[in-house]
Amino acid sequence: MPLDRPFDPDTIRAWDRDHVWHPFTQMKDYVARDPVIIAAADGVRLQDIDGRWYYDGVASIWLNVHGHRVPAIDHAIRAQLERMAHVTLLGQGHVPAAELAHRLTSWLPRPLRRVFFSDSGAAAVEVALKMAVQYWANQGVERPKVLGFTTNYHGDTLGAMAVAPDPTFHWPFLSYLPPNPRAPFPYCYRCPIGKRWPACRLACLEAVEAELARHRTELAAVIIEPVQGAGGIIPAPPGYLRALRALCDRYGVLLIVDEVATGFGRTGRMWAIDHDGVVPDILCLGKGLTAGYLPLSATVATDDVYAAFWADVGDKKALYHGHSYAGNPLAAAAALANLELFATSSLLADLPAKSAQVAARLAPLADHPYVGDVRQQGLMVGIELVADRATKRPFPYAVQAGYRVADAARERGLLIRPIGNVVIFMPPLASTPADLDAMTARLCDAFTAATPALADLAAGTEEAPV
Ligand SMILES: Cc1ncc(COP(=O)(O)O)c(C=O)c1O
């Protein structure tokens, strides 16, 4: 594909280095590493400013669904652009938002019918938290807290951080965040109560129940990711979400499910809640909503939650939250085209076979001397590196062990972005079997190539806390 907009790669490199402050990136490290700068994309591959092609092994941070430059989505955005690029949703409507809310809810369990649009996953979570707290406040009940889980991640805004505080990422803000209780997540590889699934019969839920019992009068909701993403691709075991729903019902608190990362087919079903047949009170969607094209997110609530906000203006029960670009029409048009592709293509039907293919191709990694655990649900894969397989001793965060593999993968034409010790592989869902073969082969080669560097790191690192 020709690059039709001329640029000088060295100038772009200099401007990027001198002016762009990259998200979630230590810039000192970034400028030292000859960073990848992308100029174009096509299908499941990305082209850098020097003309090199790479597979998009993390779906452009977990959001790309049908690949890049998909004619139907490109066309939908262009057609919408002919009508209008943006108008507000504050106190007025627009055509693509109405169409999208209608279409989206037809894909969701029936009680989830009320769609509040925002523009990022974090904003969708922020809205969910505020909805939950205000749901009670509007009924005259003060319940200011939300129960989160250990190793969770819900975004980088203050509310999202407050339910998922992380000493590595959020240390400057910890005293700034309102305290919320937290329960252990079912991280089976490092089971918080030293048991094994399925023999454990989800015994770790007892700790969740204890938190619910202790805080029941102050808890508005529980928030959970069905598969923890940034925590290291950790799927909750089968049945866990259903049991959690039952606990929430028993203790009378709302359930918020954050499907920003898992929604839109990522776990092999349209929604991760489908695996357990669970209906939350509030559902957060983002990332794949526009197939990875434009910023748009949604917080979807049940009729019951919505009803608590229905009042006279003077009662001040409205949800006073909104972003200027919430529900942007171009993004909504992309999302509609995305859903149309889900409805008309074999994408969802093909996912079980693709997921099985990836599992088979990556199976040898379980024997790698520095791999502790290979976790997968659908096309969401996390491979946890450990300095010692017998003791599960992690590599210290500072050595960035995952980058030994990511750098080797980049040399082989596959871009991935690890988080700490977890190498993450999340290809676009539309990757063909041939694409998946090519990507997994590169990934396995990268693990082999990184072995000596990982051995050096393992030999040179002290015991680190788990
Ligand atoms: C589960 C989950 N929730 C929320 C977010 C935040 O989304 P965004 O980066 O669009 O703000 C993420 C991002 O990775 C996520 O994985």
Is any ligand 1 atom within 6 A of the Cβ of residue 154?
A: yes
Q: Which of 267, 287, 417, 426 to mutate to test the pocket of ligand 1 (most atoms within 8 A of CB)?
A: 287
Q: Are residues 257 and 117 in the same domain?
A: yes
Instruction: Note whether residue 465 is domain-resident.
Output: no
Is any ligand 1 atom within 6 A of the Cβ of residue 289?
A: no
CATH for 33:
3.90.1150.10
Q: Are residues 92 and 24 in the same domain?
A: no
Does residue 2 register a pLDDT over 80?
no
**DSSP annotation string for 16-72:** HHHH---TT--HHHHHHT----EEEEEBTEEEETTS-EEEETTHHHHT-SS-BS-HH
Average pLDDT over residues 39-53: 98
Partners of residue 55 on adjacent β-strands: 45, 414
| CA separation for the pair 191, 27 (Å, rounded) | 35
Q: Are residues 384 and 268 in the same domain?
A: no
Does residue 463 register a pLDDT over 60?
no
Nearest CA residue ID for atom 13, ligand 1: 155
Is any ligand 1 atom within 6 A of the Cβ of residue 399?
A: no
Per DSSP, the three-state class of 182 is: strand
Q: Which of 24, 154, 422 to mutate to test the pocket of ligand 1 (most atoms within 8 A of CB)?
A: 154
Is any ligand 1 atom within 6 A of the Cβ of residue 300?
A: no
**How many whole angstroms from 24 Cα to the centroid of ligand 1?**
12
Q: Which of 344, 368, 383 corresponds to the end of one domain?
A: 344
334-346 pLDDT per residue, tens: 999 999 999 999 9
The more confidently predicted of residues 116 and 6 is 116
413-451 pLDDT per residue, tens: 999 999 999 999 999 999 999 999 999 999 999 999 999
Are the C-beta atoms of 128 and 282 separated by less than 8 Å? yes
Q: Are residues 283 and 187 in the same domain?
A: yes
Does residue 252 register a pLDDT over 80?
yes
Q: Which of 320, 344, 368 corresponds to the end of one domain?
A: 344
**How many whole angstroms from 100 Cα to the centroid of ligand 1?**
21
Q: How far from chain centre, in Å, is Cα 220?
A: 23
Is any ligand 1 atom within 6 A of the Cβ of residue 120?
A: yes
Instruction: Note whether residue 155 is domain-resident.
Output: yes
Does residue 375 register a pLDDT over 50?
yes
Instruction: Note whether residue 4 is domain-resident.
Output: no
Is any ligand 1 atom within 6 A of the Cβ of residue 155?
A: yes
**DSSP annotation string for 287-309:** GGGGTTSS--EEEEEEHHHHHTT
Q: Are residues 353 and 251 in the same domain?
A: no
* Residue ranges making up the domain that contains 364: 9-66+346-460
Q: How far from chain centre, in Å, is Cα 196?
A: 26
Q: Are residues 292 and 359 in the same domain?
A: no
The per-residue pLDDT for 4 is: 63
**How many whole angstroms from 122 Cα to the centroid of ligand 1?**
6
| CA separation for the pair 108, 300 (Å, rounded) | 9
Instruction: Tell me if the bond preceding 198 is cis, omega within 30° of 0.
Output: yes
- To the nearest whole percent, how much of the chain has pLDDT over 70? 98
Q: Are residues 120 and 222 in the same domain?
A: yes
Is any ligand 1 atom within 6 A of the Cβ of residue 259?
A: no
CATH for 253:
3.40.640.10
Is any ligand 1 atom within 6 A of the Cβ of residue 396?
A: no
Quickly list H helices, 147-262. 158-162, 205-215, 240-251
Instruction: Note whether residue 290 is domain-resident.
Output: yes
**How many whole angstroms from 312 Cα to the centroid of ligand 1?**
34
Nearest CA residue ID for atom 10, ligand 1: 121
Is any ligand 1 atom within 6 A of the Cβ of residue 323?
A: no
Q: Are residues 114 and 18 in the same domain?
A: no
**How many whole angstroms from 319 Cα to the centroid of ligand 1?**
22
Per DSSP, the three-state class of 356 is: helix
Q: How many domains does the chain have?
A: 2
The per-residue pLDDT for 6 is: 86
Nearest CA residue ID for atom 16, ligand 1: 261
Q: Are residues 179 and 316 in the same domain?
A: yes
Nearest CA residue ID for atom 9, ligand 1: 121
The per-residue pLDDT for 461 is: 74
The per-residue pLDDT for 466 is: 47
Is any ligand 1 atom within 6 A of the Cβ of residue 153?
A: yes
Q: Are residues 295 and 408 in the same domain?
A: no
Closest CA to 449 of 459, 441, 437, 438: 441
The per-residue pLDDT for 462 is: 62
Q: Which of 302, 329, 344 corresponds to the end of one domain?
A: 344
| CA separation for the pair 346, 21 (Å, rounded) | 40
Q: Which of 125, 152, 161, 282 to mutate to test the pocket of ligand 1 (most atoms within 8 A of CB)?
A: 125
Instruction: Note whether residue 397 is domain-resident.
Output: yes
The per-residue pLDDT for 146 is: 98
Instruction: Note whether residue 1 is domain-resident.
Output: no
Instruction: Note whether residue 415 is domain-resident.
Output: yes
268-322 pLDDT per residue, tens: 999 999 999 999 999 999 999 999 999 999 999 999 999 999 999 999 999 999 9
**How many whole angstroms from 17 Cα to the centroid of ligand 1?**
26
Name 357's Cβ contacts closer than 8 Å, sequence gap at least 6: 433, 436, 437
Beta strands in 119-218 (DSSP E): 145-149, 182-183
Is any ligand 1 atom within 6 A of the Cβ of residue 435?
A: no
What's at 226, amino acid-wise? P
Counting other chains too, the contacts that 449-456 makes at CB distance below 8 Å and 24 or more residues apart are 449/408, 449/411, 449/412, 450/404, 450/405, 450/407, 450/408, 451/368, 451/369, 451/370, 453/404, 454/369, 454/370, 454/385, 454/395, 454/401, 454/404, 454/405, 455/369, 455/370
Instruction: Note whether residue 264 is domain-resident.
Output: yes
Does residue 139 register a pLDDT over 70?
yes
Does residue 390 register a pLDDT over 70?
yes
Among left, alpha and beta (phi > 0; psi -120 to 50; other), residue 85 is: alpha
| CA separation for the pair 50, 39 (Å, rounded) | 9
The per-residue pLDDT for 3 is: 53
**How many whole angstroms from 161 Cα to the centroid of ligand 1?**
11
Is any ligand 1 atom within 6 A of the Cβ of residue 149?
A: no
Is any ligand 1 atom within 6 A of the Cβ of residue 152?
A: no
Per DSSP, the three-state class of 227 is: strand
Are the C-beta atoms of 421 and 406 separated by less than 8 Å? no
Is any ligand 1 atom within 6 A of the Cβ of residue 230?
A: yes
Q: Are residues 118 and 147 in the same domain?
A: yes
Q: Are residues 410 and 451 in the same domain?
A: yes
Point out the ligand 1 atom lying closest to the alpha carbon of residue 258.
Answer: 1
Is any ligand 1 atom within 6 A of the Cβ of residue 229?
A: yes
**How many whole angstroms from 422 Cα to the centroid of ligand 1?**
17
